[in-house]
Amino acid sequence: MGTDELVVQRIEALLESPTTGEAAPSLASMEDTLTAGYAEALALEAERSRIERRLGEVARSVEEPVSAGVADELVALARRLTHAEGELGRLRAVLGRLRDRTRADRARR
């Protein structure tokens, strides 16, 4: 699973759009995009939790000597966890910027 690039692209497009005038996005559009972004963040957090749980299960089942299959699974899980955390951090960063912009827009109205 990965961050839905379309959600990130929508957020980035809103952040790059004008803050006032006819080309400025509507408050509803920004709020809808925030909702989609938060849903994606929750999905990434759930994925991260599943990976962490599986890492724990595999680590508890390790016996000496460690088989290549177990070692490979641990490495793959660690990579997936690192990737999920990176995507979640990236998503949270753009969501925070859009949240701030949405609040400012709401305050102007």
pLDDT tens profile 24-51: 999 999 999 999 999 999 999 999 999 9
Nearest to 51 by CA among 21, 75, 30: 75
pLDDT band for 63, please (50, 70, 90 cuts): confident
**Which amino acid type is present at position 109?**
R
Q: For residue range 5-20, list pLDDT tens digits in order.
A: 889 999 999 999 999 9
Helix (H, G, I), strand (E, B) or coil at 8: helix
pLDDT of residue 100: 97
Task: Tell me the mean pLDDT in the region 70-83.
Answer: 95
Is pTM beyond 0.75 here?
yes
pLDDT band for 62, please (50, 70, 90 cuts): confident
Helix (H, G, I), strand (E, B) or coil at 17: coil
Residue 91 near residue 44 (C-beta atoms within 8 A):
yes
The residue extents of the domains of the chain are 5-108
Query: What stretch of H or E contains 26?
Result: none
Question: pLDDT higher for 54 or 60?
Answer: 54
pLDDT of residue 68: 87
Q: Mean pLDDT of all residues in the chain?
A: 92
Helix (H, G, I), strand (E, B) or coil at 109: coil
d(CA 38, CA 95): 8
